[in-house]
């Protein structure tokens, strides 16, 4: 037997994923994939019987593989070292291991909906693992190797066909501490409200960087197959819902921009209002005159509908699109929904009043927080993002994602007024329970019924409760939303979602080194 030439392929190391402070969120650990050479196994039944309990599988399935007329067959991929040693102790002929790289998420469920997960061959299947798969996976190496007559590789005779390139690393915008705070508070909220799910998203309103994104129930990406698809899904960008009263911030923005409201005028807010075949009700009996500020603060549907009737339908539709609704934000995560915004040409008499109070329109949580950020940052609509930088394995920055201005949507003066209006919601309106000692918080409550599937109308007793807000009002450092879907018992957004938002902000702001702005809380040394 003479010299042999063989082509071999080497898999690259997948890139590491870090949070914004370089805490490792996704790494690689060695694993061992078990294979068999069936032609070298004299007693497949015995080997299958010995391996089955160690591999936690049926011996009949293993036996079928071992009896195949193939040179090589995989038995189980990505085993830990402990299992490898157990199998090696059996001293089985025709059985061997290939060392591979296994993706590991050391923080388990933390930020799992951002991270996603990989398949058995380390291909990205969800989250940034999927969106940035080309950057993370690197490039396989291909070599010709020469072996002598005894089968040993001939030194220095390796010929490179394709250079092995390790995967690039990602640095996320996610802050693991803020993410942990959010996840802890959502877990408490899920237990307290006995809801179907709870979710939250927080971002820097001046950059579009997503600081935290979470949902409960969640999943562990190390064992993603053990969870239903609904737990794996990133509902904050992949699911839409009717926003309810949180959308009144958009309606108020149009009224201010178009100069359609006098701050001194008062609107009579009766308990019910009939438009065509639809009767609108307020959430409580106002039955009095309210000014614009109080209509927003106390979330009067009747007041907002009456004011919104001054907006031309086509102009209202154009503003809604201008605010980013009905269009994907362009976030660097897969599967983003664009929402539902029907053209004004198809609106009935009841559509404008419904849309004014957040019904008959569907958005993603990310869309409405992106809009809120623009509403309170001076009017700058920014593209949200979750990856700050892409690094070479040595740490050199290859690409840096910077804040991206999509467009300016409202004037600075309108933005300033909205901040004051939304501060009033928390100071003395429906969002009081989002208040935080020492800080001025702004926001808007929302309570929406869930539309019937495949029919007109809404499901009885099924609600989505929310609170979206920002803090501190004087110089916003964080904007976000808490959404509680189908709670048991209390369902008003101001009652159950606002306190969760407040608890998150109360813990996050000191960590972010944001000083108290309420003078009575500032210590003088």
Q: What is the pLDDT of residue 525?
A: 39
Mean pLDDT of 435-441: 95
Is the entire prediction scored with pTM above 0.75? yes
Catalytic residue among 197, 214, 239, 245: 245
Does position 522 have pLDDT exceeding 60, yes or no?
A: no
Q: What is the pLDDT of residue 506?
A: 97
- Spatial CA neighbour of 95 closest among 118, 73, 119, 79: 73
Q: Does 234 reside within a domain?
A: yes
306 lies in the same domain as 328: yes
Mean pLDDT of 316-333: 98
The dihedral formed by the CA atoms of 370, 371, 372 and 378, expressed in degrees to the nearest 10:
100
Distance of CA 30 to the CA centre of its chain: 29
Q: Does 88 reside within a domain?
A: yes
Q: What is the pLDDT of residue 33?
A: 82
210 lies in the same domain as 321: yes
CA distances from 117 to 23, 92, 123, 169, 327 (A): 18, 34, 9, 15, 27
Q: Does 382 reside within a domain?
A: yes
Spatial separation of the C-alpha atoms in residues 241 and 214, rounded to whole Å: 17
- Spatial CA neighbour of 412 closest among 257, 245, 181, 192: 257
Q: Which helix (H) or strand (E) holds 295?
A: helix 292-297
- Spatial CA neighbour of 502 closest among 440, 420, 458: 440
Q: Does 191 reside within a domain?
A: yes
250 lies in the same domain as 346: yes
445 lies in the same domain as 355: yes
Q: Does 56 reside within a domain?
A: no
Q: What is the pLDDT of residue 12?
A: 82
Q: Which domain holds residue 224?
A: 176-387+397-521
201 lies in the same domain as 164: no
435 lies in the same domain as 462: yes
pLDDT in tens, 264-291: 999 999 989 999 989 999 988 898 999 9
pLDDT in tens, 24-35: 999 998 888 888
Q: Which helix (H) or strand (E) holds 83?
A: helix 81-88
345 lies in the same domain as 224: yes
Of 141, 169, 197, which marks where a domain is finished? 169
Looking at the structure of the chain, the number of domains it has is 2
User: What is the maximal distance between C-alpha atoms in the chain?
Assistant: 101
Of 151, 169, 187, which marks where a domain is finished? 169
Among the ranges given (60-74, 128-142, 276-290, 308-322), the one the predictor scored with the smallest mean pLDDT: 60-74
Residue with more model confidence, 3 or 484: 484
Q: Does 61 reside within a domain?
A: no
- Spatial CA neighbour of 234 closest among 149, 320, 129, 139: 129
Is 245 catalytic? The answer is yes
Q: Does 54 reside within a domain?
A: no
CATH number for the domain spanning 154: value is 3.90.1310.10
pLDDT in tens, 117-163: 999 888 999 999 999 999 999 887 766 666 666 666 566 666 666 77
Q: Does 96 reside within a domain?
A: yes
Mean pLDDT of 154-176: 82
Residue with more model confidence, 457 or 364: 364
232 lies in the same domain as 295: yes
Does position 524 have pLDDT exceeding 50, yes or no?
A: no
383 lies in the same domain as 296: yes
144 lies in the same domain as 209: no
CATH number for the domain spanning 243: value is 3.40.710.10
Of 122, 153, 169, which marks where a domain is finished? 169
74 lies in the same domain as 209: no
88 lies in the same domain as 134: yes
Does position 454 have pLDDT exceeding 80, yes or no?
A: no
Spatial separation of the C-alpha atoms in residues 210 and 478, rounded to whole Å: 10
- Spatial CA neighbour of 248 closest among 384, 368, 350: 368
């Amino acid at each position: 037997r003479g010299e042999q030439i063989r082509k071999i392929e080497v898999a690259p190391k997948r890139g590491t994923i870090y949070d914004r402070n370089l805490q490792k969120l996704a790494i690689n650990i060695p694993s061992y994939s078990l294979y068999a050479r069936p032609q070298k196994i004299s007693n497949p039944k015995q080997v299958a019987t010995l391996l089955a309990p160690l591999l936690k599988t049926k011996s009949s399935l293993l036996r079928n593989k071992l009896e195949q007329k193939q040179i090589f067959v995989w038995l189980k991929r990505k085993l830990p070292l402990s299992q490898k040693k157990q199998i090696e102790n059996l001293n089985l002929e025709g059985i061997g291991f290939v060392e591979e790289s296994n993706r590991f998420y050391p923080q388990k469920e933390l930020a799992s909906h951002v991270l996603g997960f990989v398949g058995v061959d380390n291909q990205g299947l969800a989250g940034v693992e999927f969106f940035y798969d080309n950057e993370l996976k690197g490039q396989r190496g291909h070599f010709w190797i020469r072996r002598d007559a005894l089968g040993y590789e001939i030194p220095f005779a390796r010929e490179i066909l394709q250079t092995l390139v390790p995967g690039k690393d990602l640095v996320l915008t996610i802050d693991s501490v803020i993410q942990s705070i959010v996840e802890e508070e959502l877990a408490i909220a899920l237990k307290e409200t006995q809801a179907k799910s709870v979710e939250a998203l927080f971002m820097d309103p001046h950059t579009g960087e997503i600081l935290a994104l979470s949902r409960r129930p969640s999943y562990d990406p190390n064992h993603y197959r053990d969870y239903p698809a609904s737990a794996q899904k990133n509902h904050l960008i992949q699911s839409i819902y009717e926003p309810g009263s949180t959308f009144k911030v958009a309606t108020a923005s149009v009224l201010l921009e178009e100069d359609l409201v006098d701050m001194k005028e008062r609107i009579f807010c009766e308990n019910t209002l009939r438009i065509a075949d639809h009767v609108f009700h307020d959430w409580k009996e106002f039955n009095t005159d309210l000014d614009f500020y109080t209509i927003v603060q106390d979330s009067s549907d009747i007041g907002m509908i009456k004011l919104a009737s001054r907006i031309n339908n086509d102009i209202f539709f154009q503003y809604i699109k201008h605010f980013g609704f009905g269009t994907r934000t362009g976030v660097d995560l897969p599967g983003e929904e664009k929402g539902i915004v029907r053209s004004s040409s198809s609106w009935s008499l009841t559509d404008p009043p419904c849309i004014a109070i957040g019904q008959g329109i569907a958005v993603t949580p990310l869309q409405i927080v992106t809009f809120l950020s623009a509403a309170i940052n001076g009017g700058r609509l920014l593209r949200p993002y979750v990856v700050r930088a892409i690094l070479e394995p040595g740490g050199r920055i290859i690409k840096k994602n910077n804040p991206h201005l999509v467009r300016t949507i409202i004037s600075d003066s309108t933005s300033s007024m909205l901040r004051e209006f939304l501060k009033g919601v928390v100071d003395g309106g429906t969002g009081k329970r989002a208040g935080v000692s020492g800080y001025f918080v702004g926001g808007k409550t929302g309570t929406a019924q869930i539309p019937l599937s495949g029919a007109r109308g809404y499901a009885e007793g099924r609600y989505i409760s929310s609170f979206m807000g920002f803090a501190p009002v004087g110089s916003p450092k964080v904007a976000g939303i808490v959404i509680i879907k189908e709670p048991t018992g209390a369902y008003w957004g101001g009652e159950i979602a606002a306190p969760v938002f407040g608890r998150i902000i109360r813990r996050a702001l000191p960590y972010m080194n944001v000083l108290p702005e309420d003078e009575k809380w500032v210590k003088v040394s």
